[in-house]
């Protein structure tokens, strides 16, 4: 079966060469095999995403010659979908409201002897609100106290067969998942209706993505994504995590490198062909 791939940028800045490479990886895989290449804007974080960047991303991809199939899915236009997924997890008893502020968590972590850290290096949530009674949860939610929704990781692990917690990484076979490394991860933030992890897995399933191509920096998240897929009975895509582009000094390209944006490169006289040749090398 020809693959369905996707590029799913968050419009938090102009497209830089590293992201464009990611887009090209998905596009190239689909186009070489007669598959489909989808585009999705992951713009549910109102504090960081801007429509101006969303428009610029579409324009830059078109300039580069990377065409996509079907309409662009814009996550902020589908919030009820993510709400429904959260409700399902909640109905399975796998979510709990968390009222902690950042300062509460820091205090709690500082007070504990051994605070385990997650894949991003941040300390794991110490589980404070998991221990609240159902009555207290309900009272505080009813009183309108701001809260996030967290996955009860232990309960989630119990609810999903261990044997399914592996994934197919291209060229590497099946790799094991260790979602427990994320602890009680936030699936809906106080200030954003759903998390990246929930929306990305929901949409890959909804859109029929069969091959997820993305940077190796996102590979640790796959462990959690497989857990969500098994809990929700969503189909399992294959994964191809690609290397990250680096600058001349070997440093990974990042959004802060203005010169590496496609806009800056275009203004400096680069042609799409120069960039595509670099990707294909
Ligand atoms: N929206 C994510 C980002 O821009 C990428 C999502 C993915 O490819 O899984 O970092």
Which superfamily does 1-77+246-281 belong to? HUPs (3.40.50.620)
CB 214 near ligand 1, within 6 Å: yes
Q: Per residue in 166-184, pLDDT tens?
A: 999 999 999 999 999 999 9
- How many residues in the chain? 281
Q: Count Cβ atoms within 10 A of the Cβ of residue 110 and give its class: 0-12 exposed, 13-18 middle, 19 or more buried.
A: exposed
3-state SS, residue 165: coil
Beta-bridge partner residues of 175: 167
Domain ranges of the chain: 1-77+246-281, 79-206
Domain at 79-206: CATH code: 3.90.800.10
Per-residue buried b or exposed e for 223-261, using 16+ beta carbons within 10 Å of the residue's own CB: bbbbbbbbbbebebbebbbbeebeeeeeeebeeeeeebb
Tokens describing residue 52:
């101006």
- Check pLDDT > 90 for residue 164: no
- Check pLDDT > 70 for residue 256: no
- What are the angstrom distances between the C-alpha of 112 and each of 115, 124, 270? 6, 12, 54
CB atoms within 10 A of CB 181: 17
* Residue 34 · residue 24 · CB < 8 Å: no
Site to substitute for ligand 1 among 8, 27, 75, 228, most atoms within 8 A of C-beta: 8
- Check pLDDT > 90 for residue 259: no
Indicate the pTM of the whole model.
Answer: 0.95
CB 8 near ligand 1, within 6 Å: yes
- Check pLDDT > 90 for residue 157: yes
Beta-bridge partner residues of 168: 174
Atom of ligand 1 nearest to the CA of 221: 9
CB 4 near ligand 1, within 6 Å: no
- Check pLDDT > 90 for residue 33: yes
- Check pLDDT > 70 for residue 255: no
- What are the angstrom distances between the C-alpha of 171 and each of 130, 174, 261, 281? 40, 9, 30, 19
- Check pLDDT > 80 for residue 150: yes
Q: What is the percentage of the chain residues whose pLDDT exceeds 90?
A: 86
CB 218 near ligand 1, within 6 Å: yes
* Residue 41 · residue 9 · CB < 8 Å: yes
* Residue 126 · residue 105 · CB < 8 Å: yes
Q: What is the percentage of the chain residues whose pLDDT exceeds 70?
A: 99
* pLDDT average, residue stretch 4-21: 95
So what's the pLDDT on residue 250? 80
* Residue 260 · residue 17 · CB < 8 Å: yes
Residue with more model confidence, 137 or 110: 137
For residue 201, name the pLDDT band (cuts at 50, 70, 90). very high
So what's the pLDDT on residue 113? 78
Segment among 55-64, 66-75, 108-117 with least mean pLDDT? 108-117
């Amino acid at each position: 079966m020809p693959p369905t791939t996707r590029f799913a940028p968050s419009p938090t800045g102009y497209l830089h060469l590293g992201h464009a490479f990611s887009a090209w990886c998905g596009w190239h895989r689909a186009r070489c095999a007669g598959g489909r290449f989808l585009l999705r804007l992951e713009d549910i974080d109102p504090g960081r995403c801007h429509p101006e960047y969303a428009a610029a991303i579409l324009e830059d991809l078109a300039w580069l010659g990377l065409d996509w199939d079907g309409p662009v899915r814009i996550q902020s236009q589908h919030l009820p979908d993510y709400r429904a997924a959260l409700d399902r997890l909640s109905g399975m008893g796998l979510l709990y409201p968390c009222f902690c502020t950042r300062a509460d968590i820091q205090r709690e972590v500082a007070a504990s002897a051994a605070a385990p850290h997650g894949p991003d290096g941040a300390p794991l949530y110490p589980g404070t609100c998991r221990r609240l009674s159902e009555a207290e949860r309900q009272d505080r939610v009813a009183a309108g106290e701001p809260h996030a929704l967290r996955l009860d990781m232990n309960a989630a692990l119990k609810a999903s067969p261990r044997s399914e917690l592996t994934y197919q990484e291209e060229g590497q076979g099946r790799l094991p998942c260790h979602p427990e490394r994320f602890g009680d991860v936030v699936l809906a933030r106080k200030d954003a209706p759903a998390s990246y992890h929930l929306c990305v897995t929901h949409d890959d399933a909804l859109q029929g993505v069969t091959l997820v191509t993305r940077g190796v920096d996102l590979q640790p998240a796959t462990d959690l994504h497989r857990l969500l897929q098994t809990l929700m009975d969503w189909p399992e895509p294959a994964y191809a995590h690609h290397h990250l582009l680096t600058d001349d000094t070997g440093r990974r390209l990042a959004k802060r490198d203005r010169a590496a944006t496609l806009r800056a490169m275009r203004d400096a006289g680069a042609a799409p062909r120069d960039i595509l040749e670099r990707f294909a090398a």
